[in-house]
């Protein structure tokens, strides 16, 4: 058929397609491109443009470049006597596929062949350029090329150019552009005006937008629904739905019918403002105007009701959607689920997930993320992880928002270890963390005081080429300052100044506050001067920090002077500034001055707030003045101020320190009733019960924490671990340690201190040593107390090898042994009999400017005496006197006791007599030691004589001395004299103890004296140490039972003392 001579119809096009289909099925068929090109031209001539475009799309997929494809079409063009619209179609195919480069090349090839592309193809290219945000400048270059080709632009072209000006932010130029259009004979359409109106609205230039709307009316250009929808949507976004509703009415008055978009925008605005009742009226109005509410309408209303907590109506709307056969989507259930999660109704939210599955709806990533976020925000992190597993088990891949919720949730609970694990899991899944996730982690590290970890993460972020905002950088500066690393903080600020973001006033405020917290006022004022020089205007926080610094450094007079200067500055003085100085005055214990300062505050028209009262209450509680503290508390409530957590906690702490646990419990219950509980108040209560030995009550409080929706922190665990450790309950301490670590809290120095104490007191010092090694590996530096606990235990066992090993570790870590450490080592050496080593260590202490205490010298004097080195003992005594550690009578007494303990009683008595001749008074312990020695040798007369000497020296015999004499008399059969001394004890008002009673009972059991036995039993009963039962038994049997009972009490007492230790 000669196509050059024939005009084609649709039937010819269909035949051509059938023939092409036939050819394509032939084996070894060649020249497919040629036949496709010819068929395309045939279809264009037959006006079958859609089919032609489909063939052109197939041609582009054959891997031919724009030039080769154009050449093939051009070759077929001459054969078919086609028209250039084929090439216009090719441009549109490229545009639809987003191939801008190929469309450009085809445009230029058409130009070379003398074809003029249609303005519609040109507009399509311009529209695609507009979609490429970074290539908007090409719009103008291409427009010039259009004009060069002699192609006449239409209104559509100018609308695109107008939009380009708006995107470039040249709004005023865009207004002039419309006028220029009119000047050259083009009439702007509603689309033209809508483009500029939209930009005016987005820039909040509402006056200009409404003015342009009026211009449209004057020029007879009808504003359409789209125009009004832009206004309605913008007003609703600005929480001005009332004006949006009035505009809707105005729109209807002008005979314009609002559409679904109009009503949906208005309903959304009303719901966001909490006006759900009006939003429901909008729904009714839609129905009245024969508009069918769609899924967006209902989803908006469901979300609005959920925001208000009206879940019943939200569920009814969901049922209505189902009844009207409106497709229930993930968005519908998502809105409801989000509402449940925000209201803390997590069970209902989880049930929705099951309902969705029952109805055949596949819950996607958004639904699971909402639920995970809900559990994270409520602190149920493990449940959130369970939902994540469930999500992945359903084949749904978590996105960055899901992981972000989990990381944020774990960080809020202080469980950074879990956050890092989630981050690794996220990266393994092929997702890269964004700046928000990194900022969350940095914030968490800073909050936990792990500044070095935060800085490491910051460096990692910088290496990845990511930038953090000023808030996160300020957080790092604040954390460095809080950790006392002020030089590092200043270095980081300088680094910010070099690479950005530029430090602001808040940044410098952090450093000023850091110096002030340290009490370095000069450093703070130096930074303050720099801030003013840079051009920053100091704010209330700046002045508050400086006042705090002056108070902390003890410069209250200067603080008052600085306050006077602030009076001359406008809008600087407020309650916060006054509270800062008030806190300093209270901390200095000047409570009367603090009350006067409050009166001055009111006279200056600045009124106290809750914090003012709290500061005063805390000041009185610290001084133990609970009555005025409670009067302030009641006055505060009478004046309408609501006490906060800190107010209550200050009072509770004050009551506990005064042993008023019942009152403290009452206040804590009041806190719970008022909903102002925090973990600090629980910690104070637990610590109070622990110190009082009421561990069961402390345990109950610990269990009650979770019931109130709070979570124990590291301080909570440390308090309880320390309490258990002091009572030797090592298993409970270790259980709490395990629970603490599993909760994501890293052990600190106090944790290890409690565990070391617990292990050492239960004879597991070796495990304590391994714990120390673990502590050092975990970069937690042990302090003196941990080393001293372990050294004491190994010293008690005479394991000097481990003692010296620990001392070496101390020196290596830069923890210099203190006086307590050396004293413990000396005791161990003395216990082992290594007195020469003790003397060397003692003198090494003096060279190292560590002053030994008198106990170290006395222990060594005793050792020297046992060795028989009396001269050495005297040298140590003289040395002790020279150092001024004890008075001479105490040092002489030490020698006497040393000689006595070494069974050198005669020498001891000679020195004792010499002391009395010199007018020196021996200590009561010396008398007791000499009396005991005389009693052991059976020299009872001398022992009793020494008792008289005690009274002659103006001292009184104590219970221990009496017990020594009574024991000596009983052992030597002088029971009658022993009972005389017992009666003397009672006359002098001394309370015989269990030792007194057991010695006397044991003596009586050897030879029963009925009257003395009855008298002793009666005394013991009156003391409440034995019961009134078994009175019918004989004296001997009752004495035996009393002895058994007293020995049992003694064992209990030893266990209690051991636990307290």
| Residue where the block lists tokens 């972020």 | 461
Decide if 813 contacts 782 (C-beta within 8 A). Answer: yes
**Boundary (domain end) residue, out of 153, 169, 196:** 153
- If 0-12 CB within 10 Å is exposed, 13-18 middle and 19+ buried, where does residue 781 land? exposed
- CA angle, 313 as apex, 309 and 319 as ends, to 5°? 130
Q: Please tell me the pTM assigned to this model.
A: 0.56
In a shared domain, residues 44 and 135 = yes
Host domain of residue 394: 364-433
Q: How many CA atoms lie within 13 A of 439 on its CB side?
A: 13
Decide if 53 contacts 93 (C-beta within 8 A). Answer: yes
pLDDT tens-digit map of 572-598: 788 888 888 898 888 888 889 889 988
At 175, list the tokens: 């207004």
Distance CA 1036, CA 1009 (A): 9
940 within a domain of the structure (yes/no): no
Q: Give φ, ψ of 365 to 5 degrees.
A: -60, -40
In a shared domain, residues 52 and 3 = yes
**Boundary (domain end) residue, out of 312, 337, 361:** 361
Distance of CA 740 to the CA centre of its chain: 16
115 within a domain of the structure (yes/no): yes
- CA angle, 136 as apex, 132 and 142 as ends, to 5°? 105
Q: How far is CA 294 from CA 169, 301, 332, in A?
A: 35, 11, 11
The count of domains in the chain is 6
Q: What 3-state class would DSSP assign to 676?
A: coil
Decide if 944 contacts 938 (C-beta within 8 A). Answer: no
In a shared domain, residues 306 and 421 = no
Q: How many CB atoms lie within 10 A of CB 239?
A: 10
To 10 degrees, the CA torsion angle through 316, 318, 319, 325?
Answer: 150
Q: What 3-state class would DSSP assign to 876?
A: helix
Q: How many CA atoms lie within 13 A of 1035 on its CB side?
A: 17
In a shared domain, residues 420 and 375 = yes
Peptide bond into 501 cis (omega under 30): yes
Distance CA 1000, CA 171 (A): 109
Distance CA 900, CA 957 (A): 19
In a shared domain, residues 773 and 804 = no
Q: How far is CA 684 from CA 552, 654, 688, 690, 978, in A?
A: 25, 10, 6, 10, 51
Distance CA 296, CA 331 (A): 9
Per-position b or e across 934-967, b if 16+ CB within 10 A of its CB: bbbeebbebbbebbeebeeeeeebeeebbbbbbb
Distance of CA 1012 to the CA centre of its chain: 70
584 within a domain of the structure (yes/no): no
522 within a domain of the structure (yes/no): no
In a shared domain, residues 8 and 125 = yes
In a shared domain, residues 424 and 301 = no
In a shared domain, residues 118 and 7 = yes
Q: Give φ, ψ of 947 to 5 degrees.
A: -65, -40
In a shared domain, residues 31 and 145 = yes
pLDDT tens-digit map of 845-854: 777 667 777 7
Per-position b or e across 291-305, b if 16+ CB within 10 A of its CB: bebeebbbbbbbbbb
User: What confidence score (pLDDT) does residue 244 get?
Assistant: 85
In a shared domain, residues 418 and 301 = no
At 36, list the tokens: 């496709």
User: What confidence score (pLDDT) does residue 1048 get?
Assistant: 81
Which residues of the chain have a pLDDT value below 50?
Answer: 1-5, 1054-1061
Q: What percent of the chain has pLDDT over 70?
A: 97
**Boundary (domain end) residue, out of 153, 186, 221:** 153
- If 0-12 CB within 10 Å is exposed, 13-18 middle and 19+ buried, where does residue 1010 land? exposed
Distance CA 858, CA 873 (A): 9
18 within a domain of the structure (yes/no): yes
CATH of the domain at 53: 1.25.40
Distance CA 625, CA 648 (A): 15
| Nearest one of 262, 270, 271 to 294, comparing CA atoms | 262
Neighbouring residues of 267: CB distance < 8 A, sequence distance ≥ 6: 279, 282, 283, 297, 300, 301, 304
At 640, list the tokens: 């309408």
In a shared domain, residues 429 and 299 = no
User: Which secondary-structure segment (H or E) carries 510?
Assistant: helix 505-518
250 within a domain of the structure (yes/no): no
Distance CA 860, CA 930 (A): 19
| Nearest one of 592, 594, 593, 524 to 552, comparing CA atoms | 524
Decide if 506 contacts 531 (C-beta within 8 A). Answer: no
User: What confidence score (pLDDT) does residue 614 get?
Assistant: 92
253 within a domain of the structure (yes/no): no
User: What confidence score (pLDDT) does residue 30 get?
Assistant: 64
Distance CA 693, CA 661 (A): 12
319 within a domain of the structure (yes/no): yes
User: What confidence score (pLDDT) does residue 1061 get?
Assistant: 42
In a shared domain, residues 793 and 768 = no
């Amino acid at each position: 058929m000669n196509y050059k001579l024939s005009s084609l119809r649709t039937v010819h096009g269909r035949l051509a397609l059938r023939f092409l289909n036939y050819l394509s099925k032939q084996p070894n068929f060649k020249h497919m491109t040629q036949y496709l090109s010819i068929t395309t031209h045939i279809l264009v001539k037959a006006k079958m443009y859609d089919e032609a475009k489909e063939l052109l799309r197939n041609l582009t997929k054959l891997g031919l470049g724009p030039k080769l494809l154009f050449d093939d079409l051009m070759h077929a063009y001459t054969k078919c006597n086609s028209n250039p619209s084929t090439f216009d179609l090719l441009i549109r195919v490229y545009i639809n596929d987003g191939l801008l480069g190929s469309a450009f090349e085809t445009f230029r090839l058409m130009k070379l062949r003398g074809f003029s592309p249609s303005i519609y193809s040109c507009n399509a290219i311009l529209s695609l350029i507009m979609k490429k945000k970074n290539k908007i400048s090409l719009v103008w270059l291409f427009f010039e090329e259009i004009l060069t080709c002699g192609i006449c632009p239409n209104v559509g072209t100018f609308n695109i150019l107008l939009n380009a000006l708006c995107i470039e932010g040249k709004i005023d130029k865009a207004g002039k552009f419309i006028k220029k259009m009119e000047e050259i004979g083009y009439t702007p359409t509603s689309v033209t005006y809508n483009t500029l109106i939209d930009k005016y609205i987005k820039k909040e230039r509402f006056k200009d937008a409404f003015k342009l709307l009026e211009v449209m009316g004057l020029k007879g250009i009808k504003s359409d629904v789209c125009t009004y929808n832009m206004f309605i949507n913008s007003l609703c976004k600005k929480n001005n739905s009332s004006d949006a509703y009035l505009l809707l009415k105005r729109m209807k008055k002008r005979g314009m019918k609002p559409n679904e978009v109009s009503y949906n925008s208005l309903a959304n605005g009303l719901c966001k403002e909490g006006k759900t009742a009006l939003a429901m009226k909008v729904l009714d109005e839609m129905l009245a105007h024969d508009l069918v509410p769609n899924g967006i309408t209902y989803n908006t209303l469901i979300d609005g009701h959920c925001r208000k907590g009206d879940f019943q109506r939200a569920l009814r709307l969901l049922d209505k959607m189902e009844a009207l056969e409106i497709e229930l989507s993930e968005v519908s259930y998502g809105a409801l689920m989000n509402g449940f999660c925000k209201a803390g109704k997590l069970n209902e939210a989880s049930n929705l997930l099951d309902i969705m599955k029952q109805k055949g709806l596949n819950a996607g990533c958004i639904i699971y993320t909402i639920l995970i976020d809900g559990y994270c925000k409520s602190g149920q992190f493990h449940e959130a992880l369970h939902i994540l597993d469930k999500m992945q088990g359903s084949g749904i891949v978590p996105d960055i928002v899901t992981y972000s919720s989990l990381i944020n949730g774990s960080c809020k609970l202080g469980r950074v270890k879990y956050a890092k694990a989630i981050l690794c899991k996220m990266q393994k899944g092929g997702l890269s963390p964004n700046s928000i996730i990194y900022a969350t982690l940095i914030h968490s590290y800073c909050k936990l005081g792990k500044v070095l970890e935060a800085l490491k993460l910051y460096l990692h972020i910088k290496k990845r080429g990511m930038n953090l905002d000023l808030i996160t950088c300020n957080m790092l500066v604040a954390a460095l300052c809080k950790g006392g690393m002020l030089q590092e903080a200043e270095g980081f600020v300088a680094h910010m100044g070099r690479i950005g973001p530029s430090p602001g006033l808040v940044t410098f405020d952090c450093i000023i506050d850091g110096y002030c917290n340290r009490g370095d006022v000069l450093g703070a004022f130096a930074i303050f001067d720099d801030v003013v020089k840079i051009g920053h205007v100091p704010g209330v926080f700046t002045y508050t920090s400086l006042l705090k610094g002056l108070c902390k450094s003890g410069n209250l007079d200067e603080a008052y002077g600085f306050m006077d200067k602030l009076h001359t500055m406008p809008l600087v003085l407020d309650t916060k500034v006054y509270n800062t100085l008030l806190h300093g005055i209270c901390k200095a214990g000047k409570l009367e001055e603090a009350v006067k300062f409050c009166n001055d505050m009111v006279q200056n028209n600045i009124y106290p707030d809750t914090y003012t009262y709290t500061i005063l209450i805390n000041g009185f509680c610290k001084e133990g003045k609970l009555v005025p503290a409670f009067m302030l508390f009641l006055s505060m409530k009478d004046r309408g101020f609501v006490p906060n957590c800190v107010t209550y906690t200050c009072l509770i702490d004050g009551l506990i320190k005064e042993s008023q646990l019942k009152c403290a419990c009452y206040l804590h219950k009041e806190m719970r009733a008022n909903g102002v509980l925090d973990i600090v108040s629980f910690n104070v209560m637990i610590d109070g019960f622990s110190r009082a030995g009421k561990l069961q009550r402390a345990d109950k409080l610990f269990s009650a924490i979770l019931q109130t929706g709070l979570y124990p922190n590291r301080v909570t665990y440390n308090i309880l671990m320390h309490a258990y450790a002091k009572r030797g309950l090592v298993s409970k301490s270790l259980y709490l340690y395990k629970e603490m670590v599993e909760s994501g809290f890293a052990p600190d120095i106090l944790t290890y201190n409690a565990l070391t104490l617990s292990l050492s007191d239960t004879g597991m010092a070796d495990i304590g040593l391994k714990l120390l090694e673990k502590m050092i590996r975990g970069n937690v530096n042990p302090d003196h107390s941990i080393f001293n606990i372990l050294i004491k235990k190994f010293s008690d066992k005479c394991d000097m090898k481990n003692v010296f090993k620990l001392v070496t570790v101390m020196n290596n870590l830069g923890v210099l042994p203190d006086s307590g450490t050396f004293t413990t080592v000396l005791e161990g050496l003395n216990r082992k009999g290594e007195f020469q080593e003790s003397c060397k260590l003692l003198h090494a202490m003096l060279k190292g400017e560590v002053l030994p205490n008198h106990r170290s010298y006395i222990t060594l004097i005793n050792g020297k005496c046992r060795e028989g080195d009396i001269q050495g003992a005297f040298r140590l005594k003289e040395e002790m006197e020279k150092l001024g550690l004890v008075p001479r009578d105490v040092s002489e007494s030490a020698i006497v006791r040393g000689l006595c303990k070494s069974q050198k009683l005669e020498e001891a008595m000679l020195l004792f007599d010499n002391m009395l001749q010199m007018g020196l008074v021996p200590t009561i312990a010396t008398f007791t030691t000499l009396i005991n020695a005389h009693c052991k040798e059976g020299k009872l007369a001398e022992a009793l004589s020494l008792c008289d000497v005690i009274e002659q020296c103006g001292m009184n015999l104590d219970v221990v001395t009496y017990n020594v004499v009574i024991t000596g008399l009983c052992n030597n059969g002088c029971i009658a004299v022993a009972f005389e001394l017992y009666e003397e004890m009672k006359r002098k008002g001394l309370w015989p103890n269990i030792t007194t009673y057991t010695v006397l009972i044991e003596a009586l059991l050897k030879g029963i004296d009925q009257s003395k036995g009855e008298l002793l039993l009666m005394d013991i009963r009156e003391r409440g140490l034995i019961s009134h039962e078994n009175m019918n038994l004989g004296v001997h049997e009752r004495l035996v039972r009393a002895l058994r009972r007293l020995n049992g009490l003694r064992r209990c007492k030893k266990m209690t003392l051991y636990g307290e230790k």
